[in-house]
Amino acid sequence: MKILGLVGSPRKEKGRTYEVVSRVLEGAAEKQAEVELIFLADKNLEPCIHCDFDCFSELQCKQNKGSKVFFEQIGEADGLVLGAPVYIWQSNSLTISFIEKMRLRCGPWDRDIDNHRSALGIAVAGGTGTGVFPALKSLYAFFNLWKFNPLKPLPVTRFNFNSALRTAEENGKKMGNNKIKNISRTAEIMAYYDELKFLNYTGMDEFRWLAEKIIENLESNNQGSPKRLKKYKDQINLGNSLLEKDSRIEAVQEFMSVYKKSRKLWEEKN
């Protein structure tokens, strides 16, 4: 069993993306899996220029020397961990360049060759934490195209970083044990991806989720008065009630408001 971790951050070892991907690999290694970590920044990936080279058949990029060896390396792994930092509410360009260029022998969704590899996507949003779900959607669209058997997406922010590290390690153990749902039929794969948590999250859902994670973090670290945190929770409940009444704009306003207030408190305490 071999698990390959790809770090899409140009900051390499200095970034949070590296920390989380490394933790997944540590979990896999604990279950006796062979692990390897690769920095996409070392692969000199350039954006696709649509040069009309038959890369899907040749399994390489004509513009990137050494790409065939790199893609074969991915094809030889039993599991893939792809970590991307969030830039401007989406996966960063380095990760997207990899997604555009990677080719596997099994072919994409319209070819009847199974891909039994597992895959875990990790999006890491610093600063505000926003944009983490649009970034995850791009990673999982890539996994879906190439028929990977996915684990639940892992959103990572400053506000849930420690719990995300624990989740990352547990996911690594699952990959190392090969305890991943194996899907083969294309229709089943598509249906399974459609049901994965977080992939149908809207911008509104993201602000609500972020507020919830910030409040959980404040509570677990005994930061902020219980009365103040209860007010934040009540505001989330108010937003949920407004949604039930089809008052979506008002609900979004409540979720954004409580996110801003709870984030301000978190930053004061941290």
Of 50-54, 83-87, 106-110, least confident by mean pLDDT is 106-110
pLDDT beyond 90 at 183: no
pLDDT in tens, 138-165: 999 999 988 888 999 999 999 999 999 9
Asked if residue 245 and residue 147 are part of one domain, the reply reads: no
173 and 207 together in one domain:
no
**pLDDT tens for each residue of 203-237:** 999 999 999 999 999 999 999 999 999 999 999 99
Higher pLDDT, 67 or 12: 12
Q: Tell me: do 173 and 263 sit in the same domain.
A: no
> Final residue of a domain: which of 172, 194, 216?
194
Query: SS in 3 state form for 196-262?
Result: CCCCCCCHHHHHHHHHHHHHHHHHHCCCCCHHHHHHHHHHHHHHHHHHHCCCHHHHHHHHHHHHHHH
154 and 32 within one domain: yes
pLDDT at 184: 65
Least confident piece of the model among 18-27, 51-60, 172-181, 238-247: 51-60
User: What is the reported pLDDT for 106?
Assistant: 72
**% residues pLDDT > 90 (the chain):** 71
47 and 173 part of one domain: yes
pLDDT band at 113 (very low <50, low <70, confident <90, very high): low
Summarize pLDDT for 86-104 with one digit per residue, the tens: 999 999 999 999 998 888 7
Domain match, 152 and 67 both: yes
pLDDT of residue 174: 94
Amino acid identity for residue 211 in this structure: A
Question: What residues make up the domain containing 251?
Answer: 203-269
Of 146, 174, 194, the residue that ends a domain is: 194
Which one of 194, 228, 258 terminates a domain? 194
**107 has pLDDT over 70:** no
* pLDDT for the residue numbered 226: 95
Chain-centre distance for alpha carbon 101: 19
Whether the per-residue pLDDT at 51 is higher than 90: the answer is no
- Residue 34, SS3 per DSSP: strand
Contact 153, 200 (CB under 8 A): no
How many domains does the structure of the chain reveal? 2
CATH number, domain of 114, equals: 3.40.50.360
More confident: 75 or 86: 86
Q: How many CB atoms neighbour CB 123 within 10 A?
A: 32
Whether 172 and 70 map to the same domain: the answer is yes
| Residues 48 and 149 placed together within one structural domain of the fold | yes
C-alpha to C-alpha distance for 103 and 251, rounded to whole angstroms: 43
Q: Same domain, yes or no, for 190 and 211?
A: no
Kindly state whether residues 134 and 258 are assigned to the same domain: no
Q: Are residues 38 and 168 in the same domain?
A: yes
Residues 126 and 67 in one domain: yes
What pLDDT score was predicted for residue 122? 98
pTM value is 0.94
Question: 3-class DSSP state for residue 124?
Answer: strand
Number of H helices, E strands in the chain: 10, 7
pLDDT value at residue 68? 79
